[in-house]
Copies of this chain bind each other. A is one copy, B any other.
Amino acid sequence: MSSNPTHITAPDGTPFIEVIREFDAPRDLVFRASTEPDLVARWLGPREMAMRVIEYDARPGGRYRYVHAAPDGAEYAFRGVFHTVSEPLIIQTFEFEGAPGSVSLESTALDEIGGRTRMRHSAVFPSVAARDQALAAGMERGINDSMDRLAELLAAGAVRPGR
């Protein structure tokens, strides 16, 4: 691939990660794909992982928990709560159960421009070290896979308006 359509920035010495990606789909479909558990399970995470959703209650105060299963059988569980779920904005906490107590806060904002949608996802960690640890654990590849898979899901027409 000549150029990566997902732009990830993680300035040295800061606890921030920012991800920007455009999708060739209207905003309501990207929002729907980001809040409905059956759809989230089809794109979130590294491509080789199977995602099992335990709960995914996308409303303020709702909780989520899911497990990523690797081909070798290893499992990785994640959990959090939603603070804001109001199109075009989602704000939620995020914790990898393998590193308990290190909780980050994630924000996903969607802008629609001429039928296309620009996603701006940002995460802030409780320390610079925690951010660096997440990057070292391969977070960037997981983000790239997720964004590509979401684009593919939208292109395949798997996300329908209304319901």
Q: Among B60, B103, B122, which residue has its beta carbon within 8 angstroms of that of A107?
A: B103
A161: B residues at CB distance < 8 A: none
Q: Mark each residue of chain A from 80 to 116: 1 if its CB lies under 8 Å from any CB of chain B, else 0.
A: 1111100001010101000001011101000000000
Contact partners of A122 in chain B: CB under 8 A: 126
Q: Are B101 and A124 in contact (CB under 8 A)?
A: no
Q: Is A125 an interface residue (CB 8 A)?
A: yes
Chain B residues whose CB sits within 8 angstroms of the CB of A80 once the complex forms: 83
Given contacts A60-B63, A126-B105, contact A91 B89 (CB under 8 A): no
> How many copies of this chain?
2
Q: In the complex, which range does the number of interface residues on chain A fall in?
A: 20 to 34
Which positions 48-91 of chain A face chain B at CB distance < 8 Å?
60-63, 80-84, 89, 91
Q: What are 9 A-B residue pairs whose CB atoms fall within 8 Å in the complex?
A: A14-B14, A15-B15, A15-B124, A81-B82, A84-B103, A89-B101, A91-B101, A103-B105, A104-B105
**A residues lining the B interface (CB < 8 Å):** 14-16, 60-63, 80-84, 89, 91, 93, 95, 101, 103-105, 107, 122, 124-127
Known: A84-B103, A107-B126. 10 other contacts (CB 8 A): A14-B15, A15-B16, A16-B127, A60-B63, A60-B81, A61-B81, A81-B81, A81-B82, A89-B101, A124-B124
